[in-house]
Amino acid sequence: RQATVQRKEKDFEGMLEYHKEDEALLIRMLITEMKPQMVSATVPCLPAYILFMCIRHADYINDDQKVHSLLTSTINAIKKLLKKNSEDFEMTSFWLANTSRLLHCLKQYSGEETFMTQNSPKQNEHCLKNFDLAEYRQVLSDLGIQIYQQLIRIAENMMQPMIVSAMLESGSLTGVKPLGYRNRSSSVDCDSGGPSGYTLDALIKQLSQFHTQMSEHGLDPEISQQVVRQLFYSINAVSLNNLLLRKDVCSWSTGMQLRYNITQMEEWLRGRNLHLKHIMSTIEPLIQAAQLLQVKKKTIQDAEAICSMCNILSTQQIVKILNLYTPLNEFEERVTVSFIRDIQNLLQGRTENAQLLVDTKHTFPVLFPYTPSALSLETMHIPASLNLDFLGRV
């Protein structure tokens, strides 16, 4: 067996030295020309750690201009890159992960006690010595929010053509043959008629792809959870709005299909270990609408049951769905005017939102909870393939 000589790591202090004139090259290699695949086999968020180790060295030699310059160039390069890749989910997710990790590093190694509670003694030794970068932390946090918003916008645009078809039109239960994964984009207009051909499987596949990429990039699970929650909100809003405007989907069988689809999405969340209740609550109005389509709508007892069941839907929404409700065959009756009046009477005095349609543009505020890393900077290995051999390990 060949003996391998381990290079002594004990002298490495987890800093990276570079000449000021190499800053542009560093930014080019690490940000501008970086592709997520180039670091997929390394520790997640390697670019963020490398940048931080460079900042540490500039701090160590007490060169404030070098720290300023590196941080400004970094923020500048990330902004430009995002502008260039404004429709690219993978790139946006990758830089959200790295920006947030760089922000965590600036906190973890700030020397401020509140951020040091989980640090190892070695990590505490690695804290910044000369500079307080609190103001740059604020800039990075603002940048993170911008990147998050871009990520949500991209994901929503990609899902938009799928939602109505997958949730309301294609059905594995109703005997409608799923049409598979065809490329059409027109589900937003409510009177377009026929399905655009996306199945629930396609929508779930898309969600899986988003979630897998975020995990692979090392995005904090708390943040990817917020992305999924926002996307579920969007699925709820678009589906419910279509239901509130289209007679052809207000039927018992769509209600049954919808309920089944929502169960599948719930299963998906469970399979991905995502916070179920928190995310499912965004889709609750759609669950209630599906139940409303399925329950009996005849007696005063039915009316009372509907009123207690549909506590998130507004009176206006409940009444609208009942008015649009279309019997599937001659055995089923239309909802009578007096039944709808009963519902209106029962719901009188309920304080609620007066709007019929759900705001599809609403976004939940994003939070970036502090997530320190257990990783030790002195163990960081930089692959030769990154062409960063001008960085000196210190």
Partner 1 sequence: RLLPRPRVLLKAPTLAEMEEMNLFEDEDSP
User: Which residues contribute to the site for partner 1 (CB under 8 A)?
Assistant: 64, 67-68, 71-72, 75-76, 79-80, 83-84, 111, 128-136, 138-139, 142-143, 146
Nearer to partner 1, 31 or 386 (CB): 31
Q: How far is the CB of 346 from partner 1 (least distance, A)?
A: 51
Q: How far is the CB of 275 from partner 1 (least distance, A)?
A: 30
Q: How far is the CB of 143 from partner 1 (least distance, A)?
A: 6
Q: How far is the CB of 116 from partner 1 (least distance, A)?
A: 12
Q: How far is the CB of 133 from partner 1 (least distance, A)?
A: 6
> 218 in the Ramachandran plot: left (φ > 0), alpha (ψ -120 to 50) or beta?
left
Nearer to partner 1, 86 or 336 (CB): 86
Rounded CA separation 373/313 (Å): 43
CB distance 104 to 222 below 8 Å: no
Nearer to partner 1, 26 or 274 (CB): 26
Nearer to partner 1, 109 or 232 (CB): 109
Task: Return the sign of the alpha-carbon dihedral for residues 79, 80, 81, 86.
Answer: positive
The CA-atom distances, in angstroms, between 98 and each of 23, 34, 62, 95, 121 are 18, 12, 25, 5, 25
> 371 in the Ramachandran plot: left (φ > 0), alpha (ψ -120 to 50) or beta?
beta
Contacts of 140 (CB under 8 A, 6+ apart): 75, 99, 102, 103, 106
Nearer to partner 1, 75 or 306 (CB): 75
Rounded CA separation 295/297 (Å): 6
Residue among 140, 138, 193 at smallest CA distance from 165: 193
Rounded CA separation 224/63 (Å): 36
Q: How far is the CB of 256 from partner 1 (least distance, A)?
A: 49
**SS3 of 17, please?**
strand
Q: How far is the CB of 371 from partner 1 (least distance, A)?
A: 22
Nearer to partner 1, 71 or 366 (CB): 71
Nearer to partner 1, 20 or 247 (CB): 20
CB distance 240 to 286 below 8 Å: yes
